[in-house]
């Protein structure tokens, strides 16, 4: 247990009910921010200190801060959900705390204590509780991150860090929450390489993915499918989501975790729920050629993306330089719909959770 405690300095002038209601009418994703944020500082030799919940404001940063030059930065993404009794709950915040620690280790950063991480999420949800949407697709998205704040020029791990968490009232990530997405297979750009940082949630991975994302957008696609860096054959994941394939015999398959795939908490939850529902789930490599051939032969009936932001989003059409293919009629399939229902019911507390994933905040 860490002894880090958060002092609360409530916002002196929170937005009014009317202002908040206007902002939350159609929030989109990641555009509407709450009144508060969490901040904590770290210095080598001193550890974590000055932890507080305070008014959301700009962060003063020295222009030589290491993060601005060497991108020593990590982040997380998790949601608080409105429950039927008017309360709120988090979904597996301990798993995000653990992944945040592992990301910090990979980026040679100071680990943030896992219990303090969960405590910070709970405190932010409590103080900004009026920002949690009560719409079916709405939630409060929490974005913890850590940056190297030490001012120096020189390539070495920094000795000072800043931990911050902001919160955003969000609706669904994709425009049509019940529709399917079209994905672009990136043949030129890769996201992560063996030995690299693909399994860490660091900003650099996303910076490296943006040229591919821009290419996808220009092709009318919502997301990128990244292939492995060595052979450009094996499907790894999407730009911000893991991927599952559903076969006509009812089997599910997802690429196995490696140091070039982000270990998604939704991915892990889907595997558990699918197995409990009696489905066979294989964590095995799958090539883009096999995907195309299996769709054409009718062996593959569904594919879906999954992640905190996307929940479970079926993939309708796959586009690439070579050719395009469409899965079924490009509508949400029964397996994706069923798993989504099981997951969402646990997240929102409308079903019994036997896993300890649903964590009530108030």
Ligand X SMILES: Cc1ncc(COP(=O)(O)O)c(C=O)c1O
- Please write down the HEC assignment for all residues of the chain: CCCCCCEECCCCCCCCHHHHHHHCCCCCCCCEECCEEEEEEEECCCEEEEEEEEECCCCCCCCCEHHHHHCCEEECCEEEEECCCCCEEEECHHHHHHHHHHHHHHCCCCCCCHHHHHHHHHHHHHHCHHHCCCCCCCEEEEEEEEEECCECCCCCCCCEEEEEEEEEEECCCCCCCCCCEEEEEECCCCCCCCCCCCCCCEHHHHHHHHHHHHHHHHCCCCEEEEECCCCCCEEEEECCEEEEEEECCCCEEECCCCCCCCCCHHHHHHHHHHHHCCCCEEECCCEHHHHHHHHHCCCEEEEEEEECCCEEEEEEEEECCCCCEECCCCCCCHHHHHHHHHHHHHHCCCCCCCCCCEEECC
Beta-carbon contacts of residue 219 (< 8 Å; ≥ 6 apart): 184, 319
For residue 204, the minimal CB distance to ligand X (Å) is 12
For residue 304, the minimal CB distance to ligand X (Å) is 12
Cβ distance to ligand X smaller for residue 94 or 157: 94
Cβ distance to ligand X smaller for residue 11 or 143: 143
For residue 43, the minimal CB distance to ligand X (Å) is 29
For residue 345, the minimal CB distance to ligand X (Å) is 17
Cβ distance to ligand X smaller for residue 164 or 331: 164
CA distance 270 to 280: 12
Cβ distance to ligand X smaller for residue 109 or 142: 142
**Strand-pair partners of 166:** 143
For residue 78, the minimal CB distance to ligand X (Å) is 8
Cβ distance to ligand X smaller for residue 236 or 294: 236
Site of interaction with ligand X (CB under 6 A)? 77, 237, 240-242, 262, 264-267, 307-308
Cβ distance to ligand X smaller for residue 93 or 264: 264
Cβ distance to ligand X smaller for residue 267 or 319: 267
Beta-carbon contacts of residue 64 (< 8 Å; ≥ 6 apart): 151, 152, 153
Cβ atoms of residues 149 and 65 within 8 Å:
yes
Cβ distance to ligand X smaller for residue 51 or 142: 142
For residue 169, the minimal CB distance to ligand X (Å) is 18
Cβ distance to ligand X smaller for residue 169 or 311: 311
For residue 15, the minimal CB distance to ligand X (Å) is 28
For residue 144, the minimal CB distance to ligand X (Å) is 12
For residue 19, the minimal CB distance to ligand X (Å) is 30
Cβ atoms of residues 131 and 140 within 8 Å:
yes
């Amino acid at each position: 247990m860490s002894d880090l405690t958060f002092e609360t300095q409530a916002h002196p002038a929170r937005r009014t009910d009317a202002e908040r209601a206007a902002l939350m009418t159609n929030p989109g994703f990641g555009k509407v921010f709450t009144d508060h944020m969490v901040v904590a500082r770290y210095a080598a030799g001193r550890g974590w200190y000055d932890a507080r919940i305070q008014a959301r404001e700009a962060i003063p940063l020295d222009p030589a801060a290491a993060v601005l030059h060497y991108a020593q930065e990590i982040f997380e993404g998790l949601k608080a959900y409105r429950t039927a009794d008017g309360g709120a709950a988090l979904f597996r915040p301990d798993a995000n705390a653990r992944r945040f620690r592992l990301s910090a280790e990979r980026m040679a950063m100071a680990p943030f204590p896992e219990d303090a991480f969960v405590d910070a999420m709970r405190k932010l949800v409590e103080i900004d509780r009026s920002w949690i949407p009560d719409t079916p697709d709405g939630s409060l998205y929490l974005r913890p991150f850590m940056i190297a704040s030490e001012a120096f020029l020189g390539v070495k791990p920094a000795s000072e860090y800043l931990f911050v968490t902001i919160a955003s009232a969000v609706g669904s990530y994709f425009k049509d929450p019940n529709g399917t997405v079209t994905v672009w297979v990136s043949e030129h750009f890769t996201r992560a390489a063996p030995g690299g940082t693909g399994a860490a949630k660091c900003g650099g991975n996303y910076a490296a993915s943006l040229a591919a994302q821009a290419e996808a957008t220009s092709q009318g696609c919502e997301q990128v499918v990244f292939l492995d860096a060595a052979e450009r054959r094996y499907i790894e994941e999407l730009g911000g989501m893991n991927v599952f394939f559903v076969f006509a015999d009812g089997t599910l398959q997802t690429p196995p975790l490696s140091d070039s795939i982000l270990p998604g908490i939704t991915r892990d939850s889907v595997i558990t729920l699918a197995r409990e529902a009696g489905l066979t789930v294989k964590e095995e490599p799958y090539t883009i050629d096999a995907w195309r051939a299996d769709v054409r032969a009718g062996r593959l009936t569904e594919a879906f993306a999954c992640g905190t932001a996307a929940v479970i989003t079926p993939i309708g059409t796959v586009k690439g330089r070579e050719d395009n293919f469409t899965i079924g009629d490009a509508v949400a399939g029964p397996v994706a719909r069923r798993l989504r229902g099981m997951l969402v019911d646990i997240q929102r507390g409308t079903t019994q959770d036997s896993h300890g994933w649903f964590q009530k905040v108030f």
